[in-house]
Structure 1
Amino acid sequence: MARDAKPPVSAYIRARNEARMIADVARAALQVADEVVVVDSGSTDDTARLAAEAGARVVRQDWLGNGHQKRFAEEQCRHDWLLDLDADEIVTPELAAEIRALFDGGEPPRPVYRTPMAIAPPVGEPWTRFGLAKRCKLYDRRVVRAPAHAAWDQFAVPAGVKTGRLKNPIIHHAFADTAHLVDKLNRNSSTRARELAPKPMPVLALRVFFGLPFYFARRYLLDGLFRGGVYGFSFALLSAWGRWLRDVKMFERRKKEAERRK
């Protein structure tokens, strides 16, 4: 591949009212992707215009559900190799160079690549040395596809498929401020409590009573968010609350279903 050529990669982004960052996300993706496809599900702000001006191809599609919307986005892409990005995730120059290098000798040796995800707090530097999640962001759609699911949008790697690992992270600007984060966590917990198969009532009751401190300890201590100062503590606590809120809402759902059956 020529030095300045882009590999045969399509980046896709699901968006609705994402004017805050969509132009930056699209431009950053174009460092490595041959095309960027933004699937807009009815934005009332400047998302579509800003994405198009940044070089993306905008496709409009009403919201189908988390996994279903990704499936639709995959089908709009020209290439089989896909880069899955949210509308607040930035591809760094280092990651772009690493992905380009994978294609130097033709197709990459693995069909799926896990990518570190580094949170960027509203103030301060991204947390690139702690609190990193791993997501399968670069993949060959001939081997694996996003799940056809209303709530879940992360695919399981098929048995026998070997994954590669990318070293440089995507920078995830997960929240503009605390109010934004609370809104996202509340919305996501409602979707998952409604769409995922519910756990048995005794399990949910135990999680409602005891889950919150466990979820917090996992994020704050095991994931290293204690190194993030005030924002690290706040983010760990709010993330734990969002996970716990799903349990509470699922418990409430089961109670209402039991009442209707009486």
Structure 2
Amino acid sequence: MKKYITANIITLNEEENIKIVIKSVQEVCDEVLVIDSFSSDKTCQIAESMGAKVVKQKYLGDGGQKAFGAPLTKNKWILSIDADERLDINAIEAIKNIDLESTSYEAFSFARKTFVGKNFIKLWYPDRVTRLYNRDLCGYSTEGGHAKVESENIKALDAAMLHYSYEDYSHMIKTTHKFITRGARISYEDGKRASVFDPFVHGIGALFKALVLKGGAFHGIHGWNVAVISAFSSYMKYALMLEKQENE
């Protein structure tokens, strides 16, 4: 049974993913809204062929792009989901069982299972994300590099989203480079400054957290791979900030 929920999906050249994610959300949503950043592939055509409403908008950042779509939905309850994510079967059932008309909660969060290729990365689980929310009571922050629903009244569901974030480790490394560059730029523009010790402190700290505190050392080769890439990412973010400072 579908609910009065609008799925809000932001896209850019997602023709490989858009059909699957729309089919996933149509299990519980009676409207699908796609906010597209002017894709050059068939993303928009595929989405429209499946009954989605497509609106084109220049990319405003993750939070800004998701917030942009909220006023355009016909429903007050919005399910925000990325093109490389899917609702697990337990998430579909959990959403169907929520009484959205009488709930006292403003939003609901899901555990997220992230994959590199076909490999589930235990190190990143449960990685809670708030994605189902009442737009009349809360919404996405438009500041910073990470999109987040701002609410203090969130119910954690015993349900999962599947996140097929990376095709393989090569893809992960390429994507990490983009996030490192963006993270360093945003921090620098926000007035934050790095010391010569920060790359080492944050790099070693990230490695220790991943391998020891989160147990990645016992998750096999995939735990080690992700830990090392995460440590490199933390190190290079501050290294790039130092470079920007030197070039002031």
Question: TM-score w.r.t. structure 2 length?
Answer: 0.89
The aligned counterpart of 1:260 is none
Distance 1:215 1:150, change over 3 A: closer
Q: Percent identity?
A: 23
Q: Residues 71 and 234 (structure 1 numbering): CA distance in 2 closer, same or farther, change over 3 Å?
A: same
Aligned 8 A contact 1:122 1:177 in 2: yes
- Look up the match of 1:86: 82
Which of 103, 106, 109 is the matching residue for 1:114? 109
Q: Residue 165 of structure 2: SS of its match in structure 1?
A: coil
Provide the rounded CA distance (Å) in 1 between the counterparts of 2:145 and 2:217: 30
- Give the equivalent residue in structure 2 for 1:166: 157
Alignment of 1:121-140 (within 5 A): 121-124=116-119, 126-127=120-121, 131-140=125-134
Picking from 23, 28, 37, the partner of 1:27 is 23
Name the SS for the 2:132 alignment partner.
Answer: strand
* 1:189-245 deviation digits (Å, cap 9, x = unpaired): 22222223243333xx32212221211222333334445422232122223322333
Contact 2:199-2:234 at 8 Å conserved across structures? no
AA of the residue aligned to 1:178: Y
SS state of the match for residue 230, structure 1?
helix
The 1:57–1:149 alpha-carbon spacing in structure 2 relative to 1, beyond 3 Å, is same
Distance across 2 between alignment mates of 1:209 and 1:39? 39
Q: Is the 8 A contact 1:14 1:40 kept in 2?
A: yes
The amino acid that maps onto 2:207 is: F
Per the alignment, residue 194 of structure 2 pairs with 201
User: Hey, what's the Cα distance between the residues in 1 that align with 2:130 and 2:23?
Assistant: 21
Amino acid across the alignment from 1:222: L
Q: Distance in 2 between matches of 1:228 and 1:77?
A: 42
* Shift in CA distance, 94/129, structure 1 to aligned 2, threshold 3 Å: farther
1:247 partnered with 2:238: yes
Which residue in the other structure is 1:100 paired with?
Answer: 96
2:184–2:241 contact (8 Å) kept in structure 1: yes
1:145-224 aligned within 5 A = 145-149=139-143, 151-157=145-151, 161-196=152-187, 197-202=190-195, 205-224=196-215
Give yes or no for contact 1:19–1:50 (8 Å, CA) kept in 2.
yes
Shift of 1:150: 5.7
Distance 1:230 1:54, change over 3 A: farther
Question: For the structure 1 residues 128 and 24, does the alpha-carbon distance in structure 2 shift closer, same or farther, using more than 3 Å as the test?
Answer: farther
SS at match of 2:142: coil
Distance verdict in 2 for CA 1:211–1:62, change over 3 Å: same
**What's 2:136 paired with?**
142
User: Structure 1, unaligned stretches of length 5 or more?
Assistant: 258-262
TM-score (norm 1): 0.84
The structure richer in strand per residue is 2
Deviation track 1:78-132 (CA, whole Å, cap 9, x = no partner) reads: 211111111111101210110111127x3422112221111123124x3579632
